[in-house]
Amino acid sequence: MTNTVVRARIDEHVKEEAAAVLATIGLTVSDAFRLMMVRIATDKALPFEPLVPNAETVEAMKAARRGELVNVGAPEDLLRSLNASD
């Protein structure tokens, strides 16, 4: 079987973070990519379930990126806030 080279563009920070995680389990980025591709070819599916956020979650993510975060203070305040709608 001959090998081929696959190239992918990815944010440098993401690559560095992923490489650090993979290194802790003795894998390189190439190893992990190879494992993923073999699994896709074998199973004819992604080896994970893609997350599709609902509209409310998408809006919350956009607000967080804009810096519109809610500060509730102490953990007790967070719990009160979360339980307020019950």
Tens digits of pLDDT across the chain (86 residues): 899 999 999 999 999 999 999 999 999 999 999 999 999 999 999 999 988 999 999 999 999 999 998 888 899 988 988 888 75
In the prediction, which pLDDT does 22 show? 97
> Is the overall model pTM greater than 0.85, yes or no?
no
Q: List, by residue range, all CATH 1.10.1220.10 domains of the chain.
A: 1-50
Q: What is the fold of 1-50?
A: Arc Repressor Mutant (1.10.1220)
HEC string for the chain: CCCCCCCCCCCHHHHHHHHHHHHHCCCCHHHHHHHHHHHHHHHCCCCCCCCCCCHHHHHHHHHHHCCCCCCCCCHHHHHHHHHCCC
In the prediction, which pLDDT does 84 show? 85
